[in-house]
Amino acid sequence: MDNPILRVENLHKSFDETEVLNDINITFEKGTVTTIIGPSGSGKSTLLRCINQLETTTSGHIYFHEEDITGSHVNVNAVRSKIGMVFQSFNLFANLTVLENCTIGPVKVLKKDKLEAQEAALVYLESVGMLSFQDRKVSTLSGGQKQRVAIARTLAMDPEIILFDEPTSSLDPEMVNEVLDVMKNVITDHISFIVVTHEMDFAKDVSDRIIFMDHGKIVATGTPQEIFEDTVHERLKRFIYKK
């Protein structure tokens, strides 16, 4: 990758005496889909939170367009406007309507005209199947509906990268496929997607590359074929075959 959109270099993260990320080195190319798999507690979500600057790194660097975004001089809000994140728990404003949730960021952070922000938000709500809910309060929605709104809200910020942190883990089983289908539909080569997931079939279907993490380290990377069919890595085999 000559010009990666994102580069993680020698990244370490500890909470007190517990090292959660141990010397992470990885690059991400523009317009690709990368899924991160691995057992619970392997550091997957913490890696995303460091990329989005929700966690302060212990050491190492993260470069976005070759600018170090881990420095104290960095405008965190500007970083997050370009590196969006969809959370397990939705993180929506429950007292606002669906449309208001999708316009508040573009208006307040990107300084977009309110009407312009609304027009764009309606397009994204339609793309996730939530256009008819635009005037509903978020508090009245199901979990699957909330997650679809969260995806539309993130798209409305015109990000270059979207991080998905186990976006189906808080959903009822019947809602999981609904949200996974929406995620498949919004994939575009204009955005880089980095997805932490336990949904192995989804990872096989959408990924350009899969990263397997264990105990805070990147243990294996490869295409879906290399990870699921051709791997000789015993730890990865044990993880896949127990699913």
Strand pairing partners for 68?
63
What pLDDT is stored for residue 5 in this prediction? Answer: 96
What pLDDT is stored for residue 220 in this prediction? Answer: 95
What pLDDT is stored for residue 232 in this prediction? Answer: 83
Give the separation between CA 37 and CA 198, rounded to whole angstroms: 6
What pLDDT is stored for residue 2 in this prediction? Answer: 60
Give the separation between CA 190 and CA 160, rounded to whole angstroms: 7
Q: Does the pLDDT of residue 243 top 70, yes or no?
A: no
Domain 6-241 has CATH 3.40.640.10: no
Alpha-carbon 17 to chain mean position: 27
* % of the chain residues with pLDDT over 90: 85
Domain ranges of the chain: 6-241
pLDDT tens for each residue of 56-66: 999 999 999 99
Q: How many C-beta neighbours within 10 Å does residue 60 have?
A: 17
Give yes or no for a contact between 37 and 166, defined as CB atoms under 8 angstroms apart: no
- Average of per-residue pLDDT across 143-161: 96
Q: Does the pLDDT of residue 230 top 90, yes or no?
A: no
